[in-house]
Structure 1
Amino acid sequence: MRRIPALSLLVLAAACGGGRGGASGPAPVPANITARAEIRDAEGRSLGTMTLSQTPHGVLVSGELTGAAPGVHAIHFHDVGRCEAPFTSAGGHFNPTQRVHGFRIPAGYHAGDLPNFTAPASGNVRVDLFSDRVTLGTGPTSLLDTDGSSIVIHATADDYATDPAGNSGGRIACGVIRR
C-alpha cells in the first residue's frame, strides 16, 4: 500500500472543502496545460523551479528547492506576475473570489492559499501541492491572466487563520508563473 505524505493529506482535505463556486464547479480545462516558476531569493539566487500542471480537478504544483531556509514556510499564489525583492511587487494573495484568508476560516479561503511546507536543515526539499481554486485555463481564477501571477515563499508558517496572510512573515523568495 502506498503511503501518502501528511502534506498531501492536508492538501486533499483542503481540496475537498469545495470548488470555486456552484455545485458543478468550474468549466472543464484541458489537462495538458503547464506553467513554470523559477523561485529566486532576495539576492537573486535560484532555489529551483516549480512546475504547475493543470489536472481535471485543479492545479498540481511540484518541484525541488535547494538552499531553502530550514523550517516551516508558507507558500502562496500572489496576484501579480512580478518578483522584485522584497517581493511586494507580487501584490497580495491571488483572491479573485474575494474571500478571507485561511483554511481554518469557515468563510475562507483565498484562491492563493496553499499548505505550508517544511525545509529540513539541508535546505533541500521536494514540494508537492494541489489547489482546486485556480486554473491554468481561462476565466477569473486563471493564474495566467493579463498581469500574471507569482508564487511567494514566506519566512514562517501560515497560521491558516489570520487575514490577510496568516502571520506568515516576510517574503523570502518568489517566482513568476509563466506558461
Structure 2
Amino acid sequence: MKNPIMLMTTVVLLSILGCKNEKKDAVESQDEVSVEKEMAPTPESKKLTITLEPKSDSNVNGQVTFKEENGMVTMTAIMSDLEPGTHAIHLHETADCSSADGKSTGGHWNPTSQPHGKWGDEAGYHKGDIGNFTADEKGNGLIQFTTDEWCMGCDDVNKNILGKAVIVHAGEDDLTSQPSGAAGARVSCAGIIE
C-alpha cells in the first residue's frame, strides 16, 4: 500500500514541477517579446547613412545621414577636404556614382517637372534643389535639411528619395540658372541605397 501512495505523491510532485517550469518558460518568452518590442524601430522611423566619394579629381568625402520620422525626412551631410567657401548640394536622378565626374547620376531629381530654383520658392524648384552650405577655412562643411516633401521607400514617386544620389558641387548654386544653378563640377557623390 505504501508503494501506490509514494507513486501517487511522485506523480503529483512531478506535475507541479512541470507546471512551474511551463509557467517559467512562458514568463521568459513574454519577457523576450517585450524586449524585442522595445528594441524594434517604430514603423514611422527610418535611418540610412551613406558615404560620399570624391569625384572630378577632388578629395571631397564625408557622410550623409537621412532620418525619416513622423512624416519628416532630415538630411545631415558632413563633408571634408572642400575648398573653403560656398558649395551647392543637390539630389540627382540616379544612384549611379560610377563615372569619374559624377555625371552618371543624371540631372537634378525633378519628378514634378519644375524649373530649378530656391527650395520653397513659389516660382518652382526641383525636389532635389537643397541649396548651399559653407565650408570653413579647413575645408569642412555641414548642412542639415528637413522636409515633408521626401520619404524613404514610400510608394509616392514624387517623394521617394531611394535610388537617387547626393551630389556636392565645386561652386555655389545661384538658384536661378537653368537647369542646375551653374554650381560647377560634381566633386563628391553618394547613392541613396539601402
Say yes or no: does 1:135 pair with 2:136: no
Q: Which residue does 1:95 correspond to in 2?
A: 110
Paired amino acid for 1:134: W
In the alignment, what sits opposite 1:73? 87
Instruction: Please tell me whether residue 168 in structure 1 is matched to residue 183 in structure 2.
Output: yes
CA distance in 1: counterparts of 2:134 and 2:178, whole angstroms:
22
Closer, same or farther: CA 115–132 of 1 in aligned 2, 3 Å: farther
The structure showing larger relative contact order (alpha-carbon pairs under 8 Å, at least 6 residues apart) is 1
Q: Report deviation, 1:127.
A: 2.2
In 2, distance between residues paired with 1:45 and 1:170?
A: 13
Task: Tell me, in whole angstroms, the C-alpha distance in 2 between the residues paired with 1:72 and 1:31.
Answer: 34
In structure 2, distance between residues paired with 1:75 and 1:149: 13
Kept after mapping to 1: 8 A contact 2:47/2:68: yes
- Which consecutive unaligned segments of at least 5 residues does structure 2 have? 1-42
Q: 1:46 to 1:173 in 2, by over 3 A?
A: closer
8 Å CA contact 1:33–1:137 kept in 2: the answer is: no
Matching residue of 1:116: 132
Alignment of 1:13-24 (within 5 A): none
Task: State percent identity of aligned pairs.
Answer: 33
State yes or no: 1:155 paired with 2:173.
Answer: no
The DSSP-based 3-state class of the residue aligned with 1:89 is helix
Q: Which has the larger radius of gyration?
A: 2
C-alpha deviation, 1:168, in angstroms: 0.9
Task: With the length of structure 2 as denominator, give the TM-score of the two structures.
Answer: 0.69
Asked whether the 8 Å contact 1:32–1:53 carries over to 2, the reply is: yes
Cα offset for 1:66? 1.8
Q: How does 1:20-99 map to 2 (within 5 A)?
A: 30-42=43-55, 43=57, 45=59, 47-83=61-97, 84-99=99-114
Of Structure 1 and Structure 2, the greater helix share is in: 2
Distance 2:110 2:148 in 1: 13
CA RMSD across the alignment: 2.1
Superposition deviation, residue 121 in structure 1: 1.4
SS of the aligned residue for 1:115 comes to strand
